[in-house]
Chains A and B, each alone.
Chain A
């Protein structure tokens, strides 16, 4: 690798960050960019009875993740190949959120190269990136927007310099368009022919700045997904579509309770004799069966007779968990003695992440080395942990990041990759590991159940205090910041996961309102379920419940839910999205009996949204959202079409978890084992009328979008339900019977 070549002249241009770019020795032009961050600016606050700025307003989780990427030589790699294409190695995991397309747009924009000539590949686990290969916290575009543009701008500058040298023309007189450098006299040289000369280290370029945002022609315009064609033709390759030579199907028989152990396999010989069975191995998590096909592996694992040891939560069921959570919710500070007040208590059930692609991985552990393929949002800690557990040096473990079939937080954890590695090591063969849907739902990860106590006091039309006490089953943060040191810290008995959880809570949860003295506190109960951050982490339940209380406070004060919010909202951008949905969704229009509108707002990660729904609750047991209007302000929308998709996903998640989708825990295991039982929304539950309005760029920094879309519709749907039925929603999902025969354990 060569020494640093350039630095932007005006760091302000790229938002308080400075970059060093490197030229990497390669036959084609390969640019690597190192980023450092300087500071983050505090957010603003306004009047009514002002609420002091909360931590998440000053510094949010995304900021911390961005800062954590800074000192680690987060080298982004961009190549210009001899066929005139650009290829970005993205140190993140595409799981459907559209980051491959959005980053390709940044590259195409900066290079003046058509989008269809930009390739984005997911980088293998790169230990040297430390914190800079974690996909989470809605942070990909926030952390990569500047670095990717600077990297591409540097490649462009080098190609202009190379063309200038060839033509004896000063590079400043040259321009770029359509993947070529052009001279004033009309001569042109394609990037493909310049890639070689531009990679010579003798070439000097001046200070590099990305394009002015006002000059953007692609970034900011609605753009379709680059991988859409592969998806609609069945050519998109997910982990189990890979063809790794010799890797045969494996499934695992799992215990009857979470974290149960294998004591004895009683009929191994009989199962080995079944058609298609190749091998059987006992691993920590269960009994692995390899077969010619997954169908036969499934039959084999179902036929196993195993004696099991107990798990970690065998005595737990929904009621016992609820009692523990209620006991754990911290007390209110403000007694409701001298003022009017409203109190509310809320319960949210466990919710499976349930990505369509069940937990899966391919692993080849032989001859003192390991190669792993899986959809991984924290591949570095995956690699480090696999090396540690297999007893291999880290440099003998290669982890390839595959595009995932959904995640919603699930693929922060690498349990399938680790399990596949153990099985491959035990069987001494390459393996294709797939979890059954039943196992994915019962032994996979879930959003932790939570209990909420909220109290607001008010007098003379003003809210004086707003207290929210959250008690949650522990959310597992043992992936740390994506590498092993912080992952280890998150496992320490003192501090450990609970401190990590507190930090995340404080860095993500804030109230959008001036409600006087506001306190939002989390207390987690360390029950050993398999959990993981679920889209929007603590916000869906915490902010969703708060938006319900906001309607109830407004009602007590005799105010319209929209007008009340307008009056008490702290930030103009938050009020603007609220006004937009009120206008587009015709807030206050007359609704037939049994129907109602509901409205709510949410802000996180420097972005703001509001949602207005119409709900048909003529049958209060089976209400349907019939229309949704959403407005979203992310400061700087890179791909409005992708942002709309994320908001649509958040809406559907909210419809599901608010109305029908949850897990019942019974004797240490979820009863739900498939989509016929865990009632995630189907087409018939989805509104036929959805509008997502993306606010134009407003000069603000780029905000997060991936998780933003969930909490506001949770509040809006619940509020519509209350208005339509007169029933105060308190327990979620609202309709939650055990309307099925559970699968055998």
Chain B
């Protein structure tokens, strides 16, 4: 099997995997980076949302070969050591998480949105498609607005 080398959360790694293996399984099963979650495998629930070269991407439908030479950031790589990212802080302040399973993806989607726009409108927040089955959407919205105000 071919080898693919890329950076995950600041660390250079190499995995031995078939070219079409979804990145989610390279991360979770080969590298044991288990913050990104499986929820659907077809890019509709977005629970695995992470960043590829700074842009939101969904590892469940991205072949590992597409990530070669690139920089992957998962939820584990968002904080600076013990210092949380402002979006993570806002999530704590609003006590967003219930079961928590979708929240790594929600947070990575929110961070990507705030990179594009400093003060997202309700319509821009509405466009985040990540499913939260506990139904925490209102607190997610409040947390994004709170983070935007502080950033």
Query: CB within 8 Å of B: which residues of A?
Result: 95-98, 224-225, 227-236, 238, 240-241, 243, 249, 275-276, 292-296, 298, 354-358, 404-408, 434, 436-437, 641, 645, 648-653, 655-656, 674-676, 680-684, 686-688, 690
Contact = CB atoms under 8 A, between A and B. Distances in A.
B133 A406 contact: yes
Secondary structure at chain A's binding surface: helix, strand, loop or mixed? loop
Contact of B92 (A228, A235, A406): A228
B25 interface: yes
Given A295-B22, A408-B133, A674 B95 contact: no
9 contacts: A233-B79, A241-B34, A275-B1, A295-B22, A356-B37, A358-B39, A675-B44, A675-B45, A683-B126
Interface in B102-145: 102-104, 107, 122, 125-141
Given A356-B102, A676-B42, A686 B141 contact: yes
Interface string B2-43: 000000000000000110011011101110101111111110
Contact of A231 (B24, B25, B100, B137): B100
Contact of A298 (B41, B122, B127): B41
A98 B91 CA distance: 16
Contacts of A298: 41
Q: Is the interface of B mostly helix, strand, loop or mixed?
A: loop
A96 B40 contact: no
B127 A674 contact: no
Interface of B: 1, 17-18, 21-22, 24-26, 28-30, 32, 34-42, 44-45, 47, 74-76, 78-79, 84, 88, 91-92, 95-104, 107, 122, 125-141
A229 B88 CA distance: 8
Contact of B41 (A234, A296, A437): A437
Contacts of A97: 98
Contacts of B96: 228, 232
B91 A95 contact: no
A398 B51 CA distance: 39
A684 B127 contact: yes
Contact of B141 (A436, A681, A683): A683
Nearest to B32: A243
B92 A686 contact: no
B147 to A, nearest CB: 12
B29 A294 contact: yes
A683 B96 CA distance: 14
Given A358-B39, A683-B125, A293 B97 contact: no
Contacts of B128: 682-683
Contacts of A650: 135
Contacts of B97: 96, 225, 227-228, 231-232
Contacts of B41: 298, 436-437
Given A243-B32, A296-B21, A675-B40, A405 B45 contact: no
